[in-house]
A = this chain, B = another copy of it.
Amino acid sequence: MESAKDFKKVVDTISTLLDEICFEVSEEGIKASAMDPSHVALVSLEIPSLAFEEFTADEHEIGIDLEAFKKVMNRAKSKDKLILELDEEKNKLNIIFENTGKRKFSLALLDLSASSVKVPDIEYPNVVVIKGEAFKEALKDADLFSDYVILKVENDKFLIQAKGDLNDFSAEFEKDDAAIVNLEVGEEAKSAFNLDYLMDMVKGVSSGDIIKIYLGNDMPLKMEYSLAGVNLTFLLAPRIEG
């Protein structure tokens, strides 16, 4: 892979939601999906072989401790090239950074099998395509006053609301605001979501990234975006209000 530093953001994001993951490797690329330990969020990723400068692989399942993977990826420096290499004999994944020299980290594999959870193929009435940073900042704003957030679609607007004991927050994005790339509203919708999970899901998002948010009443939120050629999909169950 051309840039180890870009891939680092992917690992950073999934490692905040998951402790371990089983990568399913095939000729077409790498994919994985898993529920978070509390079964509130589903994380799914797909790395097409084209995201790699060079890709040679048989079918394999590779179980990885994400805490260790994150620690290693955090050592990536700009201009480091990333090589992922399975050492079947030693049962290790080699993570190699190539730059002015060669640095090789060998991670012990975990004995995991591929998860059977998949992102269900549901149609959503509303789709919000928004600049990732605008969404991420609005979530951090909401975090000042509450630990959950209400996402609303109505009258060609996308709203992010938080209610504290004394103080409130509300972000409003209209169809022609600079932050909105596209806004397809099929029906009014309003759901509450846990703010920590949402912020974890957009952790690796930075300026220039675009997020696709699918919303419906009583439906899990679906979120999609790409980081460094990796397609990430998240599902988050709505918060049941008392």
Contact = CB atoms under 8 A, between A and B. Distances in A.
**Residues of A in contact with B, size category:** 35 or more
Contact of A141 (B103, B140, B141, B167): B103
For the complex of A and B, the 4 pairs showing the least CB-CB separation, nearest first, are A100-B179, A100-B178, A108-B166, A101-B173
B167 A108 contact: yes
A104 B166 contact: no
Contact of A172 (B102, B138, B177, B179): B102
Contacts of A100: 131, 134, 177-179
Interface stretch (A35-43, A68-76, A221-229): A68-76
A152 interface: no
Contacts of A179: 100-101
A144 B108 contact: no
A198 to B, nearest CB: 16
Contacts of A138: 101, 103
A85 interface: no
Contacts of A141: 75, 103, 105
Interface of A is mostly: mixed
Contacts of A107: 166-167
Interface of A: 68, 71-72, 75, 77, 92, 99-108, 131, 134, 137-138, 140-141, 144-145, 166-174, 177-180
A103 B169 contact: yes
19 contacts: A68-B166, A75-B140, A92-B167, A99-B178, A100-B178, A100-B179, A101-B134, A101-B138, A101-B173, A101-B178, A101-B179, A103-B137, A103-B138, A103-B171, A104-B170, A105-B144, A105-B145, A105-B167, A107-B166
B105 A72 contact: no
Given A144-B72, A144-B75, A171 B101 contact: yes
A77 to B, nearest CB: 7
A132 B111 CA distance: 39
A141 B102 CA distance: 12
Contact of A168 (B75, B105, B131): B105
Nearest to A110: B166
A158 B102 CA distance: 11
A137 B104 contact: no
